[in-house]
Amino acid sequence: MTLRLPILFLLATCAAGAGAQPTDPKPKKIKLPPEQRFLMSVREKMGVTDDAEWALLAPRVTKVAVITRHVRDAREADRALEGKLFRMPTPQNPDDPPIVAYPAQTEAAMAHLAELGAALKAELDNPDARAADIQARLAAFRRARAEVDRMLSAELARAREQLRELLTPKQELALVARGLLD
């Protein structure tokens, strides 16, 4: 009889809990877009807790991040061949201005480089491509890439300087550590 009592208690406890909903100790996380997660991590790293301060810094941080990515795109030929050049994040509000507005000459040079990258990809995929055609397209691609790199590097230097104007030394260090400033 003494053995039955603990077993009956165990069975009653299990039966009482059978209909109960399990509780999740971890709250559900909201999945944010990559750009938002990036900015949140940068803000945290910079130690910015004031929303008004972040409202001034965020557009400049975003601009530097986008131009930095575009400079990388221009320098990495594989991105051109994959057609992944110069993607531009869209503003959260459709009425907002673009995150980065390049001069028309820079936009045209970037579009030309993307076209040359697509032509090189076609040459790479073409088993009948002639060596002379490949060499000519490669030379044009390299010239265009160097020009775009020069233009984007100048834009990046200006954007970084505009961002630095608002930073404390500690914030600047955080952005150097993240690779956004040099």
Per the listing, tokens 């990036």 go with: 38
Residue 14 — pLDDT band, cuts 50, 70, 90? very low
Q: Give me the pLDDT at residue 129, please.
A: 93
Task: Confirm if 82 and 122 have CB atoms less than 8 A apart.
Answer: no
Give the helix/strand (H/E) hosting 180.
none
Kindly report the three-state secondary structure assignment for every residue of 9-31.
Answer: HHHHHHHHHHCCCCCCCCCCCCC
How many whole angstroms separate alpha carbon 39 and alpha carbon 18? 44
The pLDDT tens digits of the residues spanning 32-75 come to 777 888 899 999 999 999 999 999 999 999 999 999 988 988 88
Q: What is the DSSP code (8-state) at residue 49?
A: -
User: Where does residue 86 fall: left (phi above 0), alpha (psi -120 to 50 degrees), or beta otherwise?
Assistant: left
How many whole angstroms separate alpha carbon 111 and alpha carbon 74? 11
pTM of the model: 0.75
